[in-house]
């Protein structure tokens, strides 16, 4: 269990640490490592949008005047944001502590991080001058650097921990593969389907007659009704396609499989999503608006054959990553529960969200 020690500071010290705060004042300590007010405020600022969204979705409260100070059904936005920010900074400190213990970094203080940012920016500047490739901007601000730095550090830390504390074995990975293969490693089914499509692209480009698009949609709805009543696609088209129609109803039979899936995904995303979402044999879709192609579409599955899974050997690296991500999160939660966290209550209370 995380140990929280709250220290009450007198009015004179309070003025010195909050009223005249330089950003280096300690707001908390995690296993002896300082969390500065600057670190806390930086994370607090990141929490604003998510807290505003949370109160809007869960309580129907729109952001406005006095939003942060007002209680809503027993919850206060400012306190919620501060708690989330503190939890995140504590988690980050524990990760830095682990990284230091495994020789990945030299220190866990805020100054240590700023020093790393300075080193990284100098490296990038030198690379730019030498016309060497770099990823991202030539110079990183604090927020961008922290995201880049912790992402890189986590990857290295997971590698280290998987060999030691997490002790990932081949048996662990094989068991995990069986648990997640239905979600992550299913191969594309082989699907044969019939498709009716009517293009409205010319109408949209000219923007001359929106009623034409509406009439196309109405015709497709009528075809859908006949299909639901058991008629075959070609028969439904014959019944409803008029000689004087200003549009052509096309009928094709196509195949979705591992070789064609990428093309459908990129060019007909709506159609791909519907077919991939376990449409059964003889099932007819609703009328789809395939905006990338500029057409209305109806599909009926004629045949569907399961293709199985990617093998464990093919998927091993992704299995490892998924397993370690989960194990790392659990291990980190355990370390956080065991951590000794000292919070300066007066400094904490006198930081506000604006």
Model confidence pLDDT, tens digit, residues 129-174: 999 999 889 999 988 998 899 999 999 999 999 988 998 999 999 9
Distance between CA atoms of residues 209 and 235, nearest Å: 29
| pLDDT value of position 203 | 46
| pLDDT value of position 202 | 64
| pLDDT value of position 5 | 42
**Cα torsion 150, 42, 89, 30: sign:** positive
| pLDDT value of position 19 | 39
Question: What pTM was estimated for this model as a whole?
Answer: 0.69
Q: Express each pLDDT in 219-245 by its tens digit.
A: 999 999 999 999 999 888 888 776 667
Q: What is the 3-state secondary structure (H, E, C) of the chain?
A: CCEEEEECCCHHHHHHHHHCCCCCCEEEEECCEEEEHHHHHHHHHHHHHHHHHHHHHHHCCCCCCCCCCCCECCECHHHHHHHHHHHHHHHHHHHHHHHHHCCCCCCCCHHHHHHHHHHHHHHHHHHHHCCCCCCCCCCCCHHHHHHHHHHHHHHHHHHHHHHCCCCCCHHHHHHHHHHHHHHHCECCCEEEEEEEEEECHHHHHHCCCHHHHHHHHHHHHHHHHHHHCCCCHHHHHHHHCCCCCCCCCEEEEEEECCCCHHHHHHHCHHHHHHHHCCCCCCCECCCEEECCCCEEEEEEEEEEECCCECCHHHHHHHHHHHHHHHHHHHHHHHHHHHCEEEEEHHHHHCCCCC
CATH 3.10.50.40 in the chain, residues? Answer: 190-305
| pLDDT value of position 276 | 87
Residue numbers of the chain with a pLDDT score lower than 50: 1-20, 203-205, 207-208
Architecture of domain 3-169+319-349: Orthogonal Bundle (1.10)
Architecture of domain 190-305: Roll (3.10)
CATH 1.10.4030 in the chain, residues? Answer: 3-169+319-349
Per the CB < 8 A criterion, the answer to whether 86 and 73 are in contact is no
Q: What is the largest CA-CA distance in the chain?
A: 91
């Amino acid at each position: 269990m995380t140990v929280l020690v709250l220290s009450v500071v007198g009015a004179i010290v309070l003025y010195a640490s909050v009223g005249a705060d330089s950003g280096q004042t300690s707001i908390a300590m995690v296993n002896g490592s300082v969390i500065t007010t600057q670190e806390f405020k930086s994370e607090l600022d990141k929490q604003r949008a998510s807290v505003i969204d949370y109160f809007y979705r869960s309580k129907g409260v729109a952001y406005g005047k006095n939003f942060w100070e007002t209680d809503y059904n027993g919850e206060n936005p400012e306190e919620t944001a501060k708690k989330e920010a503190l939890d995140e900074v504590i988690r980050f400190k524990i990760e830095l502590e682990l990284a230091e213990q495994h020789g990945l970094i030299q220190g866990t203080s805020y100054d240590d991080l700023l020093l790393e940012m300075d080193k990284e920016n100098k490296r990038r500047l030198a690379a730019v001058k030498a016309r060497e490739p770099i990823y991202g901007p030539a110079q990183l601000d604090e927020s961008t650097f922290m995201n880049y730095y912790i992402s890189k550090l986590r990857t290295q830390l997971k590698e280290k921990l998987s060999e030691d504390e997490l002790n990932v074995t081949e048996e662990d990975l094989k068991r995990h593969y069986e648990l997640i293969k239905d979600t992550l490693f299913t191969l594309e089914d082989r699907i044969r389907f019939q498709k009716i499509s009517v293009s409205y692209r010319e109408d949209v480009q000219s923007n001359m007659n929106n009623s034409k698009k509406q009439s196309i949609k109405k015709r497709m709805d009528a075809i859908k009704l006949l299909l639901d009543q058991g008629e075959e696609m070609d028969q439904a088209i014959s019944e409803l396609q008029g000689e004087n129609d200003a549009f052509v109803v096309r009928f094709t039979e196509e195949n979705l499989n591992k070789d064609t899936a990428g093309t459908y995904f990129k060019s007909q995303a709506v159609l791909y999503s519907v077919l991939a979402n376990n449409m059964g044999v003889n099932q007819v879709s609703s009328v789809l608006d395939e905006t990338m192609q500029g057409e209305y579409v109806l599909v009926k599955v004629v045949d569907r054959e399961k293709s199985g899974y990617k093998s464990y050997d093919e998927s091993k690296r992704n299995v490892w990553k998924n397993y370690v991500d989960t194990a790392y999160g659990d291990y980190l939660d355990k370390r956080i529960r065991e951590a000794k966290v000292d919070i300066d209550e007066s400094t904490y209370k006198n930081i506000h969200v604006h």
